[in-house]
DNA sequence: TCTGAAAATGGACCTTT
DNA sequence: AAAGGTCCATTTTCAGA
């Protein structure tokens, strides 16, 4: 599953996670590699799935979704097909940025981005109250997005 | 805080959140706009902070960080400077992808990406056990990353 | 919106290990 | 073979008319 990555690859990953718009010649200067080599490595990592995709990170506040909410969900039954339809529902809900199926006190952890409390309230009805398989859920309202990203740590030494 | 966005802007945001490497002429074709118009709109949204940054999404599994963990933390005291140093500590930890300061049963929700349980265990020592202001914390180990992203929902109608 | 210059990407080809 | 470098064609970005 994991892919062999040398120091150059890891440095490049750190750079493009920080800023994917850095031109390849600039990246080359930073990691000590020609533009062409940078190009090849980035392409290879994209082909290998090491780089999953490139994306624009949008500010939720600026587009009118200032409210971030973390919701934990406990299900009634962990029957496979019930879980699967539940996962699908969560995946399809645009306000759900992230959904983790977890072991522990809860079954799902959701990260939501919503316009306001009313919208969240509506969503709880659709997603939880209307779903027989939701035993209970807990809402944690974010007061501050202290750190937000999907950056994966990479070792830069050696 | 929020910025006025028309349908074109919102469609563009949806596109670049999906794939930031789509060329601007292609984007133009999709939303019915000239390349130059797309260029200007994207630049303006970046200048306005609507688009915060561009980033490469790296697969944690492929780089040897297959374990995602959600941790909730309750603090002893909510004294401002204690909270601030705590936030700073979380921000600086590379394995913490996300940190939300929340209202409710817990004070912080963390999303971590780690190599293995041992590394997580080490981190709990550093971050929680060594910190007097951590009253308790709970660990939820992710069995499946059902949906992962930072996509912000945008209305495409009208 | 169109046109064209500047910048960036990515392939061809040769060299090194 | 695998990976680097240089050079060149193509594509993409981006500003001026």
Helix (H, G, I), strand (E, B) or coil at A157: coil
Q: What is the mean pLDDT of residues B40-58?
A: 97
Q: What is the mean pLDDT of residues B122-128?
A: 98
Same domain, A82 and A106: yes
CATH number of the domain that residue B122 is part of:
3.30.70.920
Domain count, chain A: 2
Helix (H, G, I), strand (E, B) or coil at B33: coil
CB B98 within 8 A of CB B142: no
Number of other CB atoms surrounding residue B145 within 10 Å:
15
Nucleotide showing the shortest C1' distance to residue B22 CA: D12
Range of the domain at B16: 7-47
Query: Which of A:3-62 have CB within 8 Å of B?
Result: 3, 5, 10, 13, 16-21, 48-62
Q: Report the residue from A16, A52, A147 with minimal CB separation from B96.
A: A147
Same domain, B84 and B119: yes
Same domain, A19 and A65: no
Same domain, A17 and A67: no
CATH number of the domain that residue B22 is part of:
1.10.10
Q: What is the pLDDT of residue B87?
A: 98
| pTM flag (> 0.75) | yes
Q: Is the pLDDT of residue B158 over 70?
A: no
The model's confidence at residue A158, banded by pLDDT at 50, 70 and 90, is low
Query: Does residue A52 lie within any of the structural domains?
Result: no
Same domain, B136 and B100: yes
DSSP states of A7-62? HHHHHHHHHHHH-TTS-HHHHHHHHT--HHHHHHHHHHHHHTTSEEEEEEEEPTTT
Dist CA A80 CA B74 (whole Å): 33
Query: Does residue B110 lie within any of the structural domains?
Result: yes
Query: Does residue A151 lie within any of the structural domains?
Result: no
Q: What is the mean pLDDT of residues B2-23?
A: 96
Q: What is the mean pLDDT of residues B72-81?
A: 96
Same domain, B82 and B119: yes
Q: Report the residue from B49, B72, B103 with minimal CB separation from A62.
A: B49
Look at the block and give the residue holding tokens 């596109």. B15
Residues A40-71 have pLDDT tens digits of 999 999 999 999 999 999 999 999 999 999 99
Query: Does residue A147 lie within any of the structural domains?
Result: no
Query: Does residue A56 lie within any of the structural domains?
Result: no
């Amino acid at each position: 599953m994991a892919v062999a990555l040398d120091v150059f690859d890891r440095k490049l990953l750190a750079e493009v996670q920080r800023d994917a718009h850095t031109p390849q010649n600039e990246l080359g200067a930073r990691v000590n590699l020609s533009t062409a080599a940078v190009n090849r490595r980035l392409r290879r990592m994209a082909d290998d799935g090491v780089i999953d995709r490139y994306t624009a990170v949008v500010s939720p506040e600026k587009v009118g979704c200032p409210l971030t909410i973390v919701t934990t969900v406990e299900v009634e039954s962990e029957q496979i097909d019930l879980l699967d339809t539940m996962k699908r529902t969560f995946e399809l809900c645009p306000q759900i940025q992230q959904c983790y199926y977890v072991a522990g006190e809860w079954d799902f952890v959701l990260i939501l981005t919503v316009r306001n409390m009313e919208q969240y309230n509506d969503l709880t009805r659709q997603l939880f109250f209307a779903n027989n398989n939701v035993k209970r859920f807990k809402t944690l309202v974010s007061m501050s997005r202290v750190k937000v990203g999907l950056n994966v740590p990479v070792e830069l030494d050696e």
